[in-house]
């Protein structure tokens, strides 16, 4: 404690060692003792180590929130909705409005506390466009889209946001930090 | 020509894959975790981040992970743990910018500040166990405690910080120090005993001085 160390950030290599000991990835006792000794003198790593146990670890043991919805959709010259795995929405509440065989468009309505979110997927020349809209005035709301290939953010304007040239695969949409919609889009 | 294309393809794959997963996959899998981490760090440190702040931070974190973060990951810890570190750093950096705080790099100043915190917190935590310590001034007790803890092995110094200064329960200290709870309890007992002995020694010295 005579040399309490400092609050300056350590090297990223040391930080990873500290975190590796924290989460149990590192099991070598010599490294563990070295890291624990380092924590006595380095306030930055000490706080990081402590926060892992206080903040990060409990998060990992938490169940996924109630706001997660998973949709399995097949496309074979038209959309065929398959499974809906919703933890908080009753499956029947997710309504396929325009889903017909051989139609290149499918539309889902997902109830929200203040209205409904509509997700429309349109097949265009081998790729897909996704249009998200809210029945209520929600201009400025943000939507994140994550696929295996891209990460995009769109802001609702005129109550709608559009993502284009989306390839089939797992598509995650996060609406205004509230609803997480995972669409597993398979092309046959 | 074919060979060159294959080479470019392999380079592209290496650049985009972390372990067996692409950056996008890692980001997607952990998006919810990032969002929750931001909320929890915000709650713990009372940063008073608005929804807009959180959105900005989330975007910065995703971009950072995508552009460089995952490339620098060395697999010494779990991906989620690594992400958590990025989250903490980004939030701190954002808050510093927001509050326009100039971060001092004067180590002595930091140490002094930290010493003061430790002293105050620790005295509040431990003085009830040493009745006669009340007869000494806080500064005197603090100095005895500091000198005693300085002389302890590193593990005991860490246990002291975690348990007595930060008030973390024995059970959790055991997890953090990768030791059994019984071992930690023993160390805590020894720390108390050592400090008590030192205070007693000094206290006798004070009595003699008074006589």
Q: Structure pTM?
A: 0.59
Residue A169 has pLDDT above 80, yes or no: yes
Q: Which of A6-15, A113-122, B200-209 has the highest mean pLDDT?
A: A113-122
Q: Do B36 and A59 touch (CB under 8 A)?
A: yes
CB atoms within 10 A of CB B116: 11
- Count of CB atoms situated within 10 Å of the CB of B118: 21
DSSP conformational letter for A157: B
Residue A12 predicted with pLDDT over 60: yes
Q: Where are the domains of chain A?
A: 12-61, 68-187
Is pLDDT at B128 greater than 70 in this prediction?
A: no
For residue B38, what pLDDT is reported?
92
Residue A62: what pLDDT? 61
Most confident of A60-74, A132-146, B26-40: B26-40
Cβ contact A146:A139 at 8 Å: no
A89 vs B186, which has greater pLDDT?
A: B186
Q: Mean of the per-residue pLDDT values for chain A?
A: 77
CA distance A158 to A152: 19
CATH 1.10.1740, chain B: domain bounds: 2-99
Position A73 scores a pLDDT of: 81
Which of A38-42, B35-39, B166-170, B205-209 shows the lowest mean pLDDT across its residues? B205-209
Q: Which of B54, B149, B177 sits opposite A1 (nearest CB)?
A: B149
Q: Over range B109-133, report the average pLDDT.
A: 52
* B28 pLDDT higher than 70: yes
**Average pLDDT of chain B, as a whole number:** 75
CATH 3.30.360.10 assigned to B107-210:
no
Smallest Cα–Cα separation from B24: which of A74, A131, A130, A150?
A: A150
CATH 2.30.170 fits B2-99, yes or no: no
User: Is a pLDDT exceeding 90 seen at residue A34?
Assistant: yes
Query: Is this complex's ipTM strictly greater than 0.85?
Result: no
User: pLDDT per residue over A76-120, tens digit each?
Assistant: 877 776 555 544 444 444 544 444 555 688 887 777 766 778 888
CA distance from start to end of chain B: 97
Q: Which residue has the higher pLDDT, B99 or B167?
A: B167
Residues near B109 by Cβ (< 8 Å), separated by ≥ 6?
none
CB environment A110-141: b (16+ within 10 A), e (fewer) = bbbeeeebbbbbbbeeeebebbbbbeeebeeb
- With CB atoms and an 8 Å threshold, state whether A54 touches B44: yes
The A residues from 52 to 71 touching B (CB cutoff 8 Å) are 52-56, 59-60, 62, 64-65, 68
Average pLDDT over residues B128-155: 72
Q: How many helices (H) and strands (E) does chain B have?
A: 11, 2
Determine the residue among A55, A66, A147 to mutate to test chain B binding: the one whose Cβ has the most chain B Cβ atoms within 10 Å: A55
Instruction: Using CA coordinates, name the residue in chain A closest to B148.
Output: A1
pLDDT above 70 covers what percent of chain B? Answer: 67
Q: B118 vs A42, which has greater pLDDT?
A: A42
């Amino acid at each position: 404690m005579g040399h309490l160390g400092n609050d300056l950030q350590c090297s990223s290599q040391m930080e990873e060692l500290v975190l590796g000991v924290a989460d149990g990835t590192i099991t070598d006792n010599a490294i563990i003792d070295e890291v624990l000794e380092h924590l006595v003198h380095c306030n930055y790593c000490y706080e990081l180590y402590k926060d892992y146990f206080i903040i990060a670890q409990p998060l990992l043991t938490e169940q996924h929130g109630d706001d997660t919805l998973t949709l399995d959709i097949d496309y074979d010259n038209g959309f065929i909705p398959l499974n809906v795995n919703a933890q908080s929405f009753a499956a029947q509440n997710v309504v396929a409005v325009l889903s017909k065989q051989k139609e290149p468009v499918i539309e889902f309505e997902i109830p929200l506390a203040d209205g409904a979110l509509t997700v429309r997927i349109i097949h265009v020349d081998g790729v897909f466009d996704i249009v998200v809209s809210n029945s209520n005035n929600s201009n400025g709301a943000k939507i994140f889209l994550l696929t295996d290939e891209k990460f995009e953010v769109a802001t609702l304007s005129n109550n709608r946001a559009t993502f284009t040239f989306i390839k089939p695969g797992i598509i995650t949409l996060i609406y205004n930090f509230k609803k997480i919609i995972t669409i597993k889009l398979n092309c046959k | 020509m074919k060979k060159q294309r294959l080479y470019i393809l392999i380079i592209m794959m290496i650049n985009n894959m972390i372990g067996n997963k692409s950056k996008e996959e890692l980001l997607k899998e952990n998006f919810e975790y990032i969002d929750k981490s931001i909320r929890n760090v915000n709650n713990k440190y009372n940063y008073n981040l608005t929804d807009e702040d959180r959105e900005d931070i989330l975007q910065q974190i995703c971009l950072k992970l995508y552009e460089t973060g995952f490339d620098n990951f060395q697999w010494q810890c779990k991906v989620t743990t690594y992400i958590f570190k990025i989250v903490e750093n980004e939030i701190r950096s954002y808050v510093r910018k927001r509050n326009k705080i100039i971060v001092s790099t004067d180590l002595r100043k930091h140490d002094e500040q930290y010493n003061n915190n430790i002293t105050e917190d620790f005295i509040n935590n431990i003085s009830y166990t040493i009745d006669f310590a009340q007869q000494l001034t806080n500064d005197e007790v603090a100095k005895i405690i500091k000198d005693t803890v300085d002389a302890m092995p590193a593990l005991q110094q860490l246990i002291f910080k975690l348990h007595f200064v930060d008030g973390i329960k024995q059970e959790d200290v055991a997890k953090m120090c990768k030791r059994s709870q019984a071992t930690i309890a023993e160390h805590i007992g020894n720390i108390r005993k050592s400090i008590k002995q030192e205070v007693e020694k000094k206290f006798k010295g004070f009595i003699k001085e008074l006589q």
